[in-house]
Every structure is written in C-alpha cells, then in structure tokens.
Amino acid sequence: MTIPLWNDRSLSTEQRVDALLAELSLEEKVAQLGSYWKRPTLGDAEGFAPMQSTFEEGRDPFDAAVQGGLGHLTRPYGSAPLDGQEGGENLRKMQQAVVAGSPHGIPALVHEECLTGIMAHGATTYPAAIAWGASFDPALIGEMGERIGTDMRAIGAHMGLAPVLDIVRDYRWGRIEETMGEDPYLTGVLATEYVRGLQSTGTIATLKHFAGHAASRAGRNHAPVSIGLRELHDIDLVPFEMAVRHGEVGSVMNSYADIDGTPPAASHWLLTELLRDTWGFEGTVVADYWAVSFLQSMHRVVEDDRGAALAALRAGLDIELPETTTYPHLAAAVREGDLELEVLDTAVRRILRQKVELGLLDAHFDAATTGEAIELDSEEGRALARRMAEESIILLDNSHELLPLTPSHPLTAADDAQGLAGPAGPVSIALIGPAAVQPRSFLGCYSFTNHVLSRLEDNGTSVHVPTLTEALGAEFPGASLTTTAGTDFISPDTSGIAEAVAATQAAELAVVAVGDLAGLFGAGTSGEGCDVESLQLPGAQHELVEAVLATGTPVVLVLVTGRPYSLGAYKGRAHAIVQAFMPGEEGASAIAGVLSGRVNPSGRLPIGIPNGVGGQPGTYLAPVLAWESDGISNLDPKPLFPFGHGLSYSRFEYSALELSAPQIAADGTVEISATVTNTSDRDGKEVVQLYLSDPVASVVRPLKRLVGFTKVGLAAGESTRVTFQLHADRTSFTGPDLQRIVEPGEFRVRLGASSEDVTLEGSFRIEGEVRVLSPGRHVLDTPATVSPVALRAQDPMTAGAPAAVMGGGL
C-alpha cells in the first residue's frame, strides 16, 4: 500500500511539509493555525484566563470545530481533575475526532502548562519559578525540565507553555512567582537550561511573555509598558535572546501588555524582524490566550476580529490560542485579496514542520497514550522536587545565631528504622501562621491545585503535600508542637491572634510561617491578576507577626511567598528569618530541614527584599539616581536584603583576586579569578557571583549588574579557584544611536557573595575604538571554571578531585 508522501519517514522534513501543504485547501490551512479548548465549568471564578467568560457564548461545539482539522488541542489534562488514565482516554477520543475531521488525517499538537511541573491532576508539583532563581543552579533546572518533558510525552502532550522569562521591575506585580527574578542574566541561564532539558525529550518549550510583560505600570496585570528601546534591549530581551540562540527553543508566546503603544501580538518588528531575522528563531509564535482578539477589544488598534487576525498573522504570530476566535476570517481575506497566500502558507509551514518533527504525521501515529495508568508523581519526581526545594531555601538573617536549632548529624540506620527525620530539637515549639496549616501555600498559581482544584468545593491538593506541622513533627520528634493559624492569608480578621500569642508564651520557641496563597484574578494574594498596592504582608499577617514578636519568645520567621514582602519591621527582632519562595510539594520538609540543620541553606535571593512597604518600582539594576538618596530624596530605595544575598551554616572566605590582563581589546577576553575557602567545619555550597560596573559610559548605566555566577560545593576546610572568562561583548550595551556597542574605558569587577559584597574588587580597561556589534551575534554568557586548591588534611582520598560546580556558562 502506498502511503502519502507526508507520512513517509524516509523523506526529509521539508519534503514532507511541501507535499502536505500542496494538498491542503485554504480552509484546511487556516484550521492548522487554530486551536480548541474543551473546558468544563468549574466553580464561580472568572475563568482560567482573563475575560474568558466573554468568549463562551456562541462558540462551536468541539465536534463541529474540528471539521477541516485543527492545529492545537488546548490543555486536555490541565482543565479538569482527571487522573492519568482518564486524561489519556479523553485525549485519545479528542485526537480521533480531530483526525476524522481532517480530510488528510492530521492530528492536533497538544499543549499543556508546565511552569511548576505538568499542570495535570496528580503530577509532581515542583517549586515555583521564583524558587528556580533562588537555587542559582542551572543543572538542577535542566534536570527538572527533562523530567517534566519525559512525563509530558508519556501522556501524549507535545508542547509546554514554559518557561517565563519576564524580568521583575515592580514587586507589586502578581506574577512575580512565575518569574526567575529581577536579573536578566540569571534568568537567561536558567531558562536556557530548562529549555534544553525539556526539549531533549522531544517536547517543545515555549518562552513567555515576549516581551516586557513584567514592566507594566504600577505593577498591574496587563497594564501598559512604558519603557524605551534601550531598556527593552538591555534588560527585558536579554533572556529571550539567550534561550533562542543557545537553547534553540521551539516556541515563543507574545505578551499581553503593549510596549509604548504597540501590542506585541501585532508587532512585526518584535515577532519577525528581531525574533526571526536577527536571532534566527525557526519555531512557531503562539498567542497568549485570546491575545489576538484583545487587539480589538482591549488595545483597540483594529476595528474588528478580521482586522485582528490580519494584524497578528502579518506580524508573525502563527497560532491562535486557546481557540480559533479570529483566524477563521483569514480564508475570506485571502480570497478577497486582503491577505497574501504566501503569508498564510509561511505560518502553516511552521506548524506542519513541528508536527512532522514530533512524529504526528508518521504513518502509524498513535493518537495519545497507551491508555494505561501513568504515574505522574513518582518517587523520582518527588525526590527531585525535594532537592529543588532544599537548594532554593534562603536563610536571610541569623544574627542571633539561633539556627540551626540543633547540631546537624547524618541519620543512622537506627534513626531510619524508627522513622526519625532528624535530631530531637527544642522541647516545645509553637508553630504559628496560615502557612503552617495550609499546604497550598507551598504551590504556585500554575500548579493544578491552585489553578483548577481551588475552584471546587472539595479543594484539596492534587498531590500529597505535607503541611509544615507534619514536617516539623517529623524533624523534631521529641518536641511538643502546638499549631495555630492565628489568621488566614487574606482576611483582616484578628480574632485568632490571641490564641497564637498564648501558644507562643507557653513555648520555648515560636516558628511563625506567613506569606501567600496563590490564585487567579484576585482569588489569591499572589499569582496572575493578584497585584498589590503595598508590600506589607497581606491580610492580618503583619499584626500576627507583631503580636508574636511582642511576647519575647524567640521567633524564627518563615516567609512562604511568591513575591518579596517588606521585612524591615522584623529584622533584629526575629531571631532568624527564612525565605521560601513557593517551594513545591516537598517544601515543608525542606523548610524543616533548614531549621534543624539537616539542610545547609544555599539559596540566594533572585530578587531584593524591601525594607519599607512602598517606594516602588525598584530593583538592584539601578543607576546612581535610582540608588542614592542623600541630598536627593527623603526616600531610601536600597533593599533590606540585596539581590544575591543568602546565608549558610558554613563560612566562606574570598581571597586572591586576579585579572589576567590590565587591558584587553574591544573583542578580547579577560579572566577573573579568586580563591573561595570553606573556613568552617561543615560542608556547604557557595554561590560565587561576578558583578560588572561601567563608571563612565555614553549613556546612563546601572551601578552594577550580574555577569557571571557559579554554585560551588566545598567540603569543610576546602579551597577552590574560580575563574570567569569575561568577553568584551559582556560589557556591551545599547548606545546613543540604539546600536549595541563595546565602548573603551575602565570597567570594574566585584567578585563575592551578593550584589552588595565588596570584598574583592578590581578593574581592567578596554582599549581601542568603539566596536559596533552585529545584531544577534554577540557573546551572551560568561563561562566559569572551578579547580581545587587545597583540601582538608584529614581527607587525603579526595585530594585533586574537582569541586562540585553548578552553572554560570551556557
């Protein structure tokens, strides 16, 4: 039997695409650029996406919508609480309908959200992306991406809508938890490794939200973005270019927010000239949900849906998600001469190419999965979630040296047999706060628990998520533990605070766990559409913390949050402060381990912690006038805890800074080296950070910016030599005429433990003329190498072994 050319795997991808494209009718081509979201009605909330309810009325039922074919199936697992087997059978039936409706038998590409793991019922829920940033561990993020991709392919999904590369500019923005923080280089390195990991499994990653989404006015969701091209290029576009050029990502999703009056969904410059022509992107651009319709209804740059469809397709937006609302107008536009067939064919060719590469057009393609039960929260997945949580917890303050609560020691066989998780600890602990009793606090907005199950009457967790009460009970089995919430996350009700105070007064130690509960469009304190006016802890939690501090009982303050909150009122009064950025399903165990000392904290801040509750926006990427206040303003913009900060139970010293040359050419490289020593008696990990300053430039530059980092594991007493290879391109910026340039002059470097660590400082000069860089061709990363210097005398067997090192280079 002769098979169609597009099903013949012996032919090249382009040959198969050409053969199929030549056979498709105009309506079939348009259908390949569309999608369908078969979603149930859950609860009373507004919806999964902004203004969803406005698109419910009058839409075709699924069986009618797939006649002629379909490009994408939207979230068949991520919309209702189906287990792996139910979800697989549901997807199989949907794919069969799509294939039957397509005259040429073309299946749909299936996409799901995967920002904290697959957003499917029963799937491992990893820490939120802001915790990825806190880990400073690219290899770990890549490992997570690979596991998520493997699970997605097992359930019949082909594309994941992650990672988010938005750079935080205003801490009031609700979607901070979805980002990796306020630094473009850290975000770019981590995002690239996530993309590589996910795509190594044959799953397509999708970069969100292209671009500038987090720079919205006043931190409001979807608000306009009023930044210039220089800031856009030097901050917001940096991680996208890294993930496109180094990660070779397969998909990009537009941002909702307009940039200086131009919606990205209609920007030919952004989606075609920059993304494709300059950076070499070859994948598909997909619409954020209903973004094409928003060109008319929200941005009002076109008159109607037909105008929206034409504007988006001409700009370079290929696929309309989450369902085909405006693109059906494209067929008539071609017939009437308002749209060139070549423009349509270009977009169709891209989606067909992906379907060929994913195996959807192979002769024996199976519509979904095996139909057997699939374990989506395996022991391996939970173990990885636990490691990620442990690597991301940040010890902000330990000035009273209260932590760890007991000396850490390895578990013995007897301990393990008895089920003990650690040492005995304090005699009595009062565990206070809403995050102590509500495990949903550990999970992000795009977890299945908070995105879907929270809408149901029985709104438990999608996977087993131990509470902090359970984790502390296991960590300190000999302690008397009393738990009371005191208040909830949102309500101003203070009636429960008296009970919390009484419990605190009767205890030897108080652990106060406060923070966020993620939700959608105002249904939570963090998450999409959950923006805030103030950075004070939400609800009555500030009053709760103040009341507990006033008792005089030693307090460990634990923040379980999706954004940074003002902690200036508590520093010095709390005996220790621990920051956990939505640490996932194993977050409670990781927090308990840090408190006991079983886990030596190695997380670092990917975003500053503010002193006061206002004064926004502001991040560490600031020039002089945004950082200094003496004689200029009565407001001090500096953070309480700076970007990159984090403490350890080990002690590290930096010494012997060396630069390979005092000057380099405008296309040269300087090596920057220093020795890092673990001077304590405990093994630990240090995040070595390299910052660059440009004292005099032709445009205003930030006082410092991260240009390199690496996470190094050091045994007690061990020293290692860390060397960064800094190419002159890494000093470049967008100059006065909006060209990227390397400018001669002095550059200062700082190598240390945070953006404010000035332990080691040096400088070098770039000589010669101004060098204009070719667009999309400059060096984007700063590789780091690590070599041991000396090890503990009592451990001769490890002499000469390389130190553990994570990240920094691509």
pLDDT digits (tens, 9 = 90+) for 107-127: 999 999 999 999 999 999 999
36-73 pLDDT, tens digit per residue, is 999 876 655 455 666 655 666 667 899 999 999 999 99
**Please, are residues 678 and 715 in contact by the beta-carbon 8 Å criterion?**
yes
Q: Is 265 helix (H, G, I), strand (E, B) or coil?
A: helix
Q: Name the pLDDT band for 635 (thresholds 50, 70, 90).
A: confident
Average pLDDT over residues 373-383: 91
298-316 pLDDT, tens digit per residue, is 999 999 999 999 999 999 9
User: What local confidence, expressed as pLDDT, does residue 52 receive?
Assistant: 59
Query: What is the C-alpha separation between 405 and 595, in angstroms, rounded?
Result: 6
**Please, are residues 442 and 585 in contact by the beta-carbon 8 Å criterion?**
yes
408-419 pLDDT, tens digit per residue, is 433 333 334 434
Question: CA triplet 773, 774, 776: central angle to 5 degrees?
Answer: 110
The token duo for 757 is: 């660590």
124-159 pLDDT, tens digit per residue, is 999 999 999 999 999 999 999 999 999 999 999 999
User: What local confidence, expressed as pLDDT, does residue 732 receive?
Assistant: 98
Q: Is 388 helix (H, G, I), strand (E, B) or coil?
A: helix
Alpha helices in 524-565 (DSSP H): 541-549
**Please, are residues 189 and 232 in contact by the beta-carbon 8 Å criterion?**
no
28-37 pLDDT, tens digit per residue, is 999 999 999 9
Place of tokens 């000239």: 273
User: What local confidence, expressed as pLDDT, does residue 790 receive?
Assistant: 57
The token duo for 689 is: 């950070």
Contacts of 2 (CB under 8 A, 6+ apart): none
314 closest CA partner among 289, 335, 290, 333: 333
Please provide the average confidence, as pLDDT, over all residues in the chain: 92
Tell me: pLDDT of 5 over 90: yes
651-710 pLDDT, tens digit per residue, is 999 999 999 999 999 999 999 999 999 999 999 999 999 999 999 999 999 999 999 999
Place of tokens 């060929």: 356
- On the 0-12 / 13-18 / 19+ scale of CB atoms within 10 A, 420 is middle
Query: What is the C-alpha separation between 226 and 661, in angstroms, rounded?
Result: 41
Which letter, b or e, does each residue of 201-234 get, where b requires 16 or more Cβ atoms within 10 Å of its Cβ?
bebbbbbbbbbbbbbbeebebbbbbeeeeebbbb
Tell me: pLDDT of 796 over 60: no
Query: What is the C-alpha separation between 352 and 18, in angstroms, rounded?
Result: 9
Name beta bridge partners: 109.
Answer: 72
User: What local confidence, expressed as pLDDT, does residue 147 receive?
Assistant: 98
Query: What is the C-alpha separation between 441 and 598, in angstroms, rounded?
Result: 23
Q: Name the pLDDT band for 367 (thresholds 50, 70, 90).
A: low
234 closest CA partner among 291, 185, 171: 185
Higher-confidence position of 421 and 251: 251
Question: CA triplet 711, 714, 717: central angle to 5 degrees?
Answer: 150
Number of residues assigned to the chain: 810
User: What local confidence, expressed as pLDDT, does residue 46 receive?
Assistant: 52
Q: Is 747 helix (H, G, I), strand (E, B) or coil?
A: strand
479 closest CA partner among 509, 454, 442, 449: 509
Place of tokens 């001769």: 796
Average pLDDT over residues 718-734: 98
342-353 pLDDT, tens digit per residue, is 999 999 999 999
In this structure, which amino acid lies at residue 30? V
Report pTM. Answer: 0.94
**Please, are residues 569 and 546 in contact by the beta-carbon 8 Å criterion?**
yes
Q: How is the beta sheet containing 719-727 ordered, strand by strand?
A: 652-659, 669-678, 719-727, 784-790
Q: Is 442 helix (H, G, I), strand (E, B) or coil?
A: helix
Tell me: pLDDT of 784 over 80: yes
User: What local confidence, expressed as pLDDT, does residue 356 receive?
Assistant: 97
458-492 pLDDT, tens digit per residue, is 778 999 999 999 999 999 999 999 999 999 999 99
Q: What percent of the chain has pLDDT over 90?
A: 84
User: What local confidence, expressed as pLDDT, does residue 553 receive?
Assistant: 97
Query: What is the C-alpha separation between 358 and 140, in angstroms, rounded?
Result: 26
